[in-house]
């Protein structure tokens, strides 16, 4: 293999497998995309509506905060109506973990160190074992134990790993091993280093994320770089892109991240050029309108190309299953390398989507 050829991804890290509802996590199971609701959990209708929106955007496991007694009282309604497994996010009050487990939680996200003594941990572990649900240990660089901060000076990767091992030992002491672990910091370097360190010491599945990653622009970049490094190294079993914004965007970014690394299939891939002085059509409008239209067509495992000029455009368009290359106020539409239509700019979007629907219909007919 030459130096210019793409090197393969590292083999997937070998872990034990757990079940979150009916979704397998770890082992040889596909890497799953998660998100977290941003509604007030006490508002059941708003929370369930948001979960359905997330599921429509590709979310496979959803986390719901249970911070109060009232939230715990309605949690069972959310679980009963959710189309995907629900993870209960619990802090401080171990009794809420018991309520959530009885209410249908598919997993409990806790920090064993902040719910009280070993007797309270034992109560949660006993309940989780009774219900057959796993526990996710969530270590966050922004909320480490005081003694670890004093020992290491700050939330170093080593401090995060020691916190995780401490929490793991608390659960293992009770004979509990259905565990998933996350080690999240708000920056890429610490997060990557922490996961790498812990991966050498345990075989539990990992949930990846860059916590408090930021607004959609910066947060998407930091999440993609950090999780992309780890996923390419074979580390990671579930992911969550944490953005200040819509949860649906978190799910879409997560799926695209996995697809870009060849770790998941499904959906469509759209190639579009960045535009330059050669372009003679309104490329931004055309590309965005085509992408929105393609979402409704929902043809999976297909590549579209939307190119702006006649330099690289025809070549890229020909490589795609369906592509368009812009010209002077017009566009050439290619299918599997063959020119099939030449249309005016104002007709370009509807003409392209018409052809995309034809391709989808033919594919559906072939499957039938």
Cα angle 226-139-43, degrees, rounded to a multiple of 5: 95
**Contact by Cβ (8 Å): 320, 305:** yes
Spatial distance between the Cα atoms of 138 and 332, rounded to a whole number of angstroms: 52
- Is residue 209 a contact partner of residue 182, using CB atoms and an 8 Å limit? yes
Taking CA atoms, 148 is separated from 71, 111, 159, 200, 268, in Å, by 32, 15, 6, 21, 46
**CA–CA dist 50, 315 (Å, integer):** 41
Residue list, annotated binding site: 273, 276, 309, 316
C-alpha 363/C-alpha 6 separation (Å) is 31
Residue 214 gets the label, from left (phi > 0), alpha (psi -120 to 50) or beta, of: left
Q: Which residues fall within 8 angstroms of residue 40, CB to CB, at 6 or more apart?
A: 46, 47
What are the binding residues for [4Fe-4S] cluster? 273, 276, 309, 316
Which letter, b or e, does each residue of 5-44 get, where b requires 16 or more Cβ atoms within 10 Å of its Cβ?
eeeeeeebbebeebbbbebbbbeebebbbbbbbebebeeb
């Amino acid at each position: 293999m030459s130096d210019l050829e793409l090197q393969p991804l590292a083999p997937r890290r070998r872990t034990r497998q757990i079940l979150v509802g009916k979704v397998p996590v770890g082992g040889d199971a596909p890497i799953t995309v998660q998100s977290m609701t941003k509604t007030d959990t006490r508002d059941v209708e708003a929370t369930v509506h948001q979960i359905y929106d997330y599921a429509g955007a590709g979310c496979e496991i959803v986390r719901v905060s249970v911070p109060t007694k009232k939230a715990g009282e309605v949690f069972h309604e959310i679980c009963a109506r959710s189309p995907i497994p629900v993870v209960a996010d619990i802090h401080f009050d171990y009794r809420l973990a018991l309520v959530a487990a009885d209410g249908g939680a598919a997993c409990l996200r806790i920090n064993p160190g902040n719910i009280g003594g070993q007797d309270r941990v034992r109560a949660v572990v006993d309940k989780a074992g009774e219900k057959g649900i796993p526990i996710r240990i969530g270590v966050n660089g922004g909320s480490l134990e005081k003694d670890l901060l004093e020992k290491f000076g700050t939330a170093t990767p080593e401090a995060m790993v020691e916190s995780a091992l401490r929490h793991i030992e608390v659960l293992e002491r009770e004979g509990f091993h259905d565990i998933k672990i996350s080690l999240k910091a708000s920056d890429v370097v610490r997060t990557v280093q922490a996961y790498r360190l812990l991966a050498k010491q345990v075989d539990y599945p990992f949930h990846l994320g860059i916590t408090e990653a930021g607004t959609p622009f910066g947060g998407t970049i930091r999440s993609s770089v950090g999780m992309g490094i780890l996923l390419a190294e074979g580390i990671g079993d579930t992911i969550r892109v944490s953005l200040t914004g819509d949860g649906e965007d978190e799910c879409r970014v997560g799926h695209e991240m996995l697809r870009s690394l060849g770790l998941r299939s499904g959906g469509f891939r759209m190639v579009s050029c960045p535009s330059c002085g050669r372009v003679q059509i309104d490329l931004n409008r055309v590309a965005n309108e085509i992408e929105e239209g393609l979402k409704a067509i929902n043809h999976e495992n297909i590549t579209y190309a939307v190119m702006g000029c006649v330099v690289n455009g025809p070549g890229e368009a020909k490589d795609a299953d369906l592509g368009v290359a812009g010209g002077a106020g017009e566009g050439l539409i290619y299918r599997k390398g063959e020119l099939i239509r030449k249309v005016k700019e104002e007709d370009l979007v509807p003409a392209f989507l018409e052809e995309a629907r034809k391709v989808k219909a033919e594919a559906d007919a072939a499957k039938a």
